[in-house]
Amino acid sequence: MLFYLITIIVVLIDQATKVFVRMNLALYEKVTWAGIEFTYNENSGMAGGFFPGYARAFGIISVLFVIFIFYLRRSEAWRGPLIDISLGFLVGGAVGNGMDRLLHGQVTDFIVRSGGILNVADHALEIGIVLFIIHELVQWLKRRKRVKSE
């Protein structure tokens, strides 16, 4: 249930913030709010603007990624609180950006960071990756401890 809850929350927040930005800012308009810089940008490629014009292809990759995660989750090994949270963020981020790519042919970005301009889905993907790495480290330590005790 945690997986689905996080996925839905990420998608809703991501899509709501993108709609808000598209309705209230002009393209490339810059605004600072609560010490955070926002710049409305549209990206027709992937992260960092690489491969511009291939948004729909990356949208299809997002769909395949989500299907793959649902396939993996059929196994008990891909369930548990930490992996559910991790995969919820990953799927939520993939769905959020995938929707933009398939529906609009581009992704709305607006949160300025030192690495570029991102959106909520991008941040969810980053969180999901970090939590996935932590999950895998914990699993590795458990396996190592089990082998030592045998």
**Terminal C-alpha separation, the chain:** 35
Enumerate the active-site residues. 109, 122
For residues 95 and 66, the answer to whether their CB atoms sit within 8 Å is: yes
Separation between Cα atoms, residue 10 and residue 1, nearest integer Å: 14
Q: Could you tell me whether strands 30-33 and 116-118 are parallel, antiparallel, or unpaired per DSSP bridges?
A: unpaired
- In three-state secondary structure terms, 134 is helix
Structure tokens at 45: 């490629």
Nearest to 98 by CA among 120, 124, 121: 121
- The type of residue at 37 is E
Structure tokens at 115: 């690495």
